[in-house]
A and B are shown apart, each in its own frame.
Chain A
Amino acid sequence: MYDWHEIGALADIPRLGSRVVQTPHGDMAIFRAADDQVFALRDRCPHKGGPLSQGIVHGHRVTCPLHNWVLELDSGAAVAPDVGCATTYPLRLDNGRIWLGLNNVANLSPTVRETA
C-alpha cells in the first residue's frame, strides 16, 4: 500500500522538536516526543495553514505557532474546543532509522497532486 522512504536518523531530530521532509505530497513535519516516539503530520495546521513543524511539542501534542491551536500528534486531531484535523502519515523506526510511508504519487488523484 505504501512506498517506504528512509528519511534519516532519530538523532537528527531534537527531543520535543521537529524536522521537515519535503515530499510530492507537500511538506511533512516529523516530530520526536520526549519518550522518543516519532510522528508524521502534514506541515499545515487545519486552522489557517500554520507550519506545525515550528510549534512547541509537549507530551504527544504540538501547539501551532500562529494561533496556538493544539493538535494530537498520533491522530492529527485538534484538541477541544477547537475542531479540525491534520493529515497523519505512517512512520516506522528501525535500528534508529526513520522510515516514512507515502502513497505512490502516481496513484494520487489529480486534485491531491495539485495541492501537494
Chain B
Amino acid sequence: MNKEQLILVGNGMAGMRTLEELLAIAPDRFDITVFGAEPHGNYNRILLSPVLAGEKTVDQIMINDLDWYAERGITLHAGREVIAIHRARREIEATDGTVARYDRLLLATGSTPFILPIPGNDLPGVIGFRDIHDVETMLAAAQTGQHAVVIGGGLLGLEAANGLMKQGMQVTVVHVLDTLMERQLDPAAAELLRAHLEERGLRFLMGANTAALIGEERVRAVHFKDGLEIPADLVVMAVGIRPNIALAKKAGIYCERGIVANDTLQTYDPRIYAVGECVQHRGQCYGLVAPLWEQARVCANHLARYGIGRYQGSVTSTKLKVTGVDVFSAGEFSGGPGCDEIVLRDQARGVYKKLVIKENRVKGAVLYGDTIDGSWYFQLLRENTDIGAFRESILFGQAHLGDAGHGGGNNVLAMPDTAEICGCNGVCKGAIVKAITAQKLFTLEEVRAHTKASASCGSCTGLVEQLLAATVGDYSKTSKEKPLCACTEHSHDQVRKTIREQHLTYLRAVFEFMEWKTPDGCHSCRPAINFYLLATWPGEAQDDSQSRFINERVHANIQKDGTYSVVPRIWGGVTNAKELRAIADVADKFQVPTVKITGGQRIDLLGIKKDDLPKVWADLNAAGMVSGHAYGKSLRTVKTCVGSEWCRFGTQDSTGLGVKLEKMTWGSWTPHKFKMAVSGCPRNCAEATIKDFGVVCVDSGYELHVGGNGGIKLRGTDLLCKVATENEAMEYAGAFMQLYREEGRYLERTAPWIERVGLGYVKARLVEDEEGRQALYARFLESQRYAQIDPWAERASGRVDAHEFQPLQQVG
C-alpha cells in the first residue's frame, strides 16, 4: 500500500470538484488530504445569496459534509490554513504547525474580496461577501443595526443589498459609475434594473466616491469625497475580488494576477497544480463556477495520469440571483465595428432585450425582465449558429420558432411540482428538483443519469436546464465542445477529423490512436464511431456488427416484449397484388399478431420471433421485396403522391421520381434516419416540406426543400433551390445526403444540423459550388456500390451472422 500523497489546499468549489472528478476515474491512485481555512465541509458558495435573503439555510447548501470525506478515506483539516509550501522537501505547513508531505499538490485557494484602501476599512462591521462567516456577520448586524451600506453595484453587491433589505435593513448601494453592473449590462438595461430595485426599496448613490469609514469601536458612517456622510451600522465591500495567490507567491511559484497555469492546469512547479479563481490561464482569471468545472475535469484527468484533454478557456454568461428580478447577460454586449444591434424595449412590461449580431451570428446578449431565452441565445452564441433563417423573429424567442413539443417557452418556475417535464420517462418537476438537491447534481448529464429526464428524445432538455439553473443557482455555462461520451475527452468532430486524417479504418485503431479511457467503449461511442468509419471510408472500413444497436445488427426493430417487427421496402409507396399476397402469406404462415399500415406508406409486420426472421425474409425476398431499413440510421421512406399520372392537378410524375430517388438512395447509412418525399404540386399531399429532403413539383420544374422534421420538434423545410429536370433533382438529393453524411454528427438529424451550420452554408456547398456538388454526388454514388446489398437476403441465405438467429443450446 504505497499510494501517492495528494494534498489539496482550499476546501472550496473548484478544489473539491476536482477531487470528485478524480475519484470517479481513479479512486485508488492517491491518499488524499485536504486543508481548508474555513471550519466547514465544502458548500455551494453561490447559494450564499439566497441564504442571506432567508430563502435557504446553511445546511441546505452543503455539498460535501464531514461524513462524505470520512466515507472516502479523505483526511480533512477544516479550519487550518496552509501558511507555507516547502517545495524542495515537498511539504506544506499549516497554521497549527501540522506538516504534511505531498507527491502532488493542488492549490485551490479561490479569491478574496478587494477591500478599498481607505481609512477605517478595518473597523468592526466592515466586511466582504465571500463566505459563511460573512453571511453570519451580516445576519447578526441585521438583528441590531438599521443602516447598511453596500459599496459596489455589481452582481455580488446587488445580491448582498437585496439580502440585507430582506432582513429588514435600510440599504444604500454606493457605486462609483453611473450605471449598475456595467460589466454585464448596457446603460438601458442597467437603468431599468435600478428603477425596479428602487421601487422595491433600495437606495442608490451613483457616481459616488467613498473617502473614509467613520467610527470608533465599530463603523457608524460612510464619508464621501464631496463631503456627504450617511449612517452605516454595516458596510459590505463588494468592489471586486483578487485571486488568492499569497501562499503560492511566497513559495516561489510563478504568479501574475493569478497563479499561472498551463492548459493542463499545471503550475510552474510540475508537481503543483492549481484550479479555480486563484488561477490565471492564458491571461484570464475567472470568477464564475462553470469555467472552474471545466478546469476541474481537465486537472483531474491529468492527476489521474490519463493525460487526455486540455483546458482552452471559457466563454461565460451571467444571471442576477435576486428573486423576482430577471437579468441575463453574455458575450460582447456593447457591440463594435461591423456589429448590428437588435433591440426590443417594452417599458410598460419592464422588458428589454438586446442582441449584438455580427455577420448573422450572435455575439452578445442582454436580457432584462424576460430571460427565458437566455440559454437559447447563449447556445446560439457558443455554437456560432447562423441565424439568417430566423433573424426577423429571434427576439420573440425560441418558442416563437414553432415548437410543437414541450421545449422552451414555458416558465418552468411557475409550474406545479406535479407537472410532467419529461413525457418519455414520466418524470415530474418535483422529482427532478428533489434529485438535484438530494444527489447534489450540477450538470445536465448528471440529471439525466439520475432521473432519466430528457434522456430519451431530449425535447425537454431546455426545461430541465432551466430547473437546474433555478435549483442549483448556477447561472453560468461555458463553451466547450462536449465530449462524445464519458469514454473520451474528444468531441464528435474531433473523432471524425482524426479518422479522416489518420486514415483509421477500424474501431480499435480509433480507440488506440485517440487514447480511449475504457477498453472497448460503450453503447454511445461504439455505434457513433462505427458510423464515422463507414461514412469516411466506404468499402474499406470494417463494419463492426457488435457495435451496432440491436436493430441494425439484426435488421429488424426490437419490440418491448423482445420480438421484432419487419417492414419491407415499398418503393415510393407503390405496391401490387403480388407483393400484398406475399405479405399476407407471411402473416398467415408465421401467425403475425399485428399487421399495420405505417405512417410512411408501407406495411409493418409486428411481433415476429427472432428465430423466424430469416424465414420471413426468405419468403419476402422470393416475392422481390427487400429490407425497408425501418430500423436504421439510414434512408427510411420516400413518400409520394399520385402526381401527374392520375391527379387532375399533378404537374410532374411525382410517384416516378420518388421511386427513382428511393432506388438510388436505399441502403445508405446516415448520421440519423433520413426521409424524403415528392409531391406532385404545391398542395403537397406527400408532406414534402417536413422531410429531410423534399421535392415539390411545379409546372416549371422541381422545388427542392431541405431540413424538415415532423417528429419531436416540428420544423418546416428551407427552400434550397429550384431545378428544371429530374436528373438535377436526383443529383441534388445525392449530394445533400452526402454532405449531411460527411458533416452531420451521429444522431443529429438534418433539421438540427442545418440550424447549426446555417442554410447559407448548405447553399454555398450545393448550389453555388457546382463542382463541389458534383463531387459530393460522385462520392455518394461510389459509396452506394458497397451499401446496396439486401441485408435480409444475406441473412436468409444463412451465410451471414447465422449465430444471431439460433439459440446456442437447449438444455433440460
Cβ < 8 Å to B, chain A residues 50-70: 50-51, 54-59, 63, 65-68, 70
Residues of B within 8 A of A (CB): 439, 449-450, 455-456, 518-523, 526-527, 545-547, 549-550, 554, 558, 560-562, 803, 807-812
Q: Are B560 and A22 in contact (CB under 8 A)?
A: no
Measured CA separation A23–B450 after assembly (Å): 35
Residues of B within 8 A of A21 (CB): 807-811
Q: Are B810 and A34 in contact (CB under 8 A)?
A: no
Q: Is A92 an interface residue (CB 8 A)?
A: no
Residues of A within 8 A of B808 (CB): 7-8, 12-13, 19-21, 30
Measured CA separation A55–B523 after assembly (Å): 9
Contact of A66 among B439, B545, B558, B810 (CB under 8 A): B558
Q: Are A56 and B450 in contact (CB under 8 A)?
A: no
Contact of A63 among B455, B522, B561 (CB under 8 A): B522
Measured CA separation A58–B546 after assembly (Å): 10
Measured CA separation A59–B523 after assembly (Å): 11
Q: Are B810 and A54 in contact (CB under 8 A)?
A: no
Residues of A within 8 A of B527 (CB): 56
Q: Per-position contact with B for A91-107: 1 when CB-CB < 8 Å, else 0?
A: 00000000010100100
Q: Are B450 and A81 in contact (CB under 8 A)?
A: yes
Q: Are A50 and B562 in contact (CB under 8 A)?
A: yes
Contact of A56 among B519, B547, B807 (CB under 8 A): B547
Q: Are B803 and A54 in contact (CB under 8 A)?
A: no
Q: Is A84 an interface residue (CB 8 A)?
A: no
Measured CA separation A5–B449 after assembly (Å): 39
* Listed A/B pairs (9) with beta-carbon separation below 8 Å: A5-B812, A13-B808, A23-B811, A34-B519, A54-B554, A58-B526, A70-B522, A81-B450, A105-B812
Residues of A within 8 A of B550 (CB): 54-56, 65
Q: Are A15 and B546 in contact (CB under 8 A)?
A: yes
Those 7 A-B pairs whose CB atoms lie nearest each other, nearest first? A19-B808, A63-B523, A24-B812, A7-B809, A16-B546, A54-B550, A51-B562
B553's closest neighbor in chain A, by CB?
A54
**With contacts A25-B812, A58-B521 known, what are 4 further pairs, Cβ within 8 A?**
A5-B812, A24-B812, A58-B523, A102-B812
Most buried by B among A5, A22, A56, A63: A56
Residues of A within 8 A of B522 (CB): 56, 58, 63, 70
Measured CA separation A54–B562 after assembly (Å): 9
* Minimal beta-carbon separation of A67 from chain B (angstroms): 8
Residues of A within 8 A of B549 (CB): 56, 65
Residues of B within 8 A of A19 (CB): 803, 807-808
Residues of A within 8 A of B521 (CB): 58
Q: Are A102 and B523 in contact (CB under 8 A)?
A: no
**With A14-B546, A16-B546, A58-B518: A48-B560 Cβ-Cβ less than 8 Å:** yes
Measured CA separation A48–B808 after assembly (Å): 24
* Minimal beta-carbon separation of A115 from chain B (angstroms): 15
* Minimal beta-carbon separation of B645 from chain A (angstroms): 42
Measured CA separation A30–B810 after assembly (Å): 12
Q: Per-position contact with B for A1-45: 1 when CB-CB < 8 Å, else 0?
A: 000010110001111110111111101001000100000000000
Residues of A within 8 A of B456 (CB): 67
Residues of A within 8 A of B561 (CB): 49
Measured CA separation A14–B546 after assembly (Å): 8
Q: Are B526 and A56 in contact (CB under 8 A)?
A: yes
Residues of B within 8 A of A58 (CB): 518-523, 526
Residues of A within 8 A of B807 (CB): 19-22, 27
Q: Are B558 and A65 in contact (CB under 8 A)?
A: yes
